[in-house]
């Protein structure tokens, strides 16, 4: 079996180049291109890790680089050439201290009051209705809850979380207390009323653990999903649910998830 150490070393060099300067760590690979990179990189890496294939690190290196490119959205080559295939995105991505991961921030305006939105979100049992990967949430009391999510690779991930800040009508913050690194580290949602008095800006911030090396990235926190894509989908579904009372499928038919 091919040793993972030289692979991880190569990955660390790539990450170091991408993060050498904070100003150069911007995403420069578009969403469609990132999804293709992940879709190609995962089977290529698995192929390279096949026991029957010895002394052939090329598929692992190429596959791992593609996965890293897809998950982080950063290409050192694009950065060098001054190229970007990213369309305008309202999402902001910041690096956590000590290279622990990333924080994704995104906001959406919803035609509802902060109090109404806060009450619905604060009842975590409602989460499966708009969070695309969440299957169930069991409230265990004293601000604690147990979450079960399904990944795109048909795996189940479970974790426990607790509320760390709770300001009715304004803010809910939480953190993971137990569970695998595959689950989000924590996050917060802010409810800010607009001046017109009819709408609310909902800002969601989620922290994701950063797996090192192509193998870790392949098994990363969202199993092939782009972190900011997950945040965007959850907010869009929340907006649709709160404004229309239900979430439509891509075909335009009701999905059955209603308030």
Most confident residue range from 59-68, 103-112, 246-255: 103-112
What burial class does residue 60 get, using C-beta atoms within 10 Å of its C-beta: 0-12 exposed, 13-18 middle, 19+ buried?
buried
Query: Does the pLDDT value for residue 38 go beyond 70?
Result: yes
pLDDT in tens, 78-117: 777 776 666 555 567 666 676 667 788 899 999 999 999 9
Long-range contacts of 137-146 (CB under 8 A, 24+ apart): 144/177
Q: What is the structure's pLDDT at 182?
A: 59
Query: Does the pLDDT value for residue 131 go beyond 70?
Result: yes
Most confident residue range from 49-58, 73-82, 218-227, 229-238: 229-238
pLDDT band at 18 (very low <50, low <70, confident <90, very high): very low
Higher pLDDT, 117 or 18: 117
Query: Does the pLDDT value for residue 121 go beyond 50?
Result: yes
Q: Tell me the domains of the chain and their CATH numbers.
A: 5-81 (no CATH), 92-258 (3.30.530.20)
In percent, the amount of the chain with pLDDT more than 90 equals 32
Query: Does the pLDDT value for residue 158 go beyond 60?
Result: yes
Q: What is the structure's pLDDT at 218?
A: 47
Query: Does the pLDDT value for residue 253 go beyond 50?
Result: no
Q: Cα Rg for the chain, rounded, in angstroms?
A: 20
Report the Cα 194 to chain-centroid distance in Å. 27
Residue 105 bridge partners (DSSP)? 92, 205
Helix, strand, coil percentages in the chain from 3-state DSSP, rounded to 5: 40, 30, 35
**The token pair that represents 39 in the structure block:** 């879709």
Most confident residue range from 21-25, 41-45, 80-84, 124-128: 124-128
pLDDT in tens, 43-59: 887 777 775 655 567 77
């Amino acid at each position: 079996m091919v040793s993972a150490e030289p692979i991880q070393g190569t990955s660390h060099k790539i990450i170091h180049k991408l993060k050498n300067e904070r100003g150069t760590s911007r995403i420069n690979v578009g969403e469609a291109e990132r999804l293709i990179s992940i879709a190609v990189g995962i089977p290529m890496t698995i192929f390279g890790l096949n026991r029957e294939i010895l002394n052939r690190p090329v598929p692992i290196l190429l596959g791992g680089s593609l996965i890293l490119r897809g998950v982080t959205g950063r290409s050192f080559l694009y950065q060098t050439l001054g190229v970007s295939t990213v369309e305008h995105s309202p999402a902001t991505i910041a690096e956590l201290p000590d290279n622990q991961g990333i924080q994704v921030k995104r906001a959406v305006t919803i035609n509802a009051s902060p109090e109404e939105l806060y009450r619905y979100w604060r009842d975590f049992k409602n989460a499966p209705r708009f969070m695309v990967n969440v299957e169930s949430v069991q409230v265990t009391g004293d601000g604690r809850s147990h979450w079960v999510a399904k990944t795109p690779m048909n795996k189940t991930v479970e974790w426990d979380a607790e509320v760390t800040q709770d300001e009715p009508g304004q803010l809910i913050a939480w953190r993971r207390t137990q569970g695998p690194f595959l689950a989000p580290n924590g996050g917060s949602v802010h409810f800010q009323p607009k001046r017109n008095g009819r709408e609310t800006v909902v800002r969601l911030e989620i922290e994701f653990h950063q797996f090192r090396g192509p193998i870790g990235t392949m098994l990363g926190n969202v199993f092939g999903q782009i972190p900011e894509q997950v945040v965007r989908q959850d907010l869009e579904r929340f907006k649709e649910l709160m404004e229309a009372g239900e979430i439509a499928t891509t075909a335009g038919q009701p999905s059955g998830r209603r308030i």
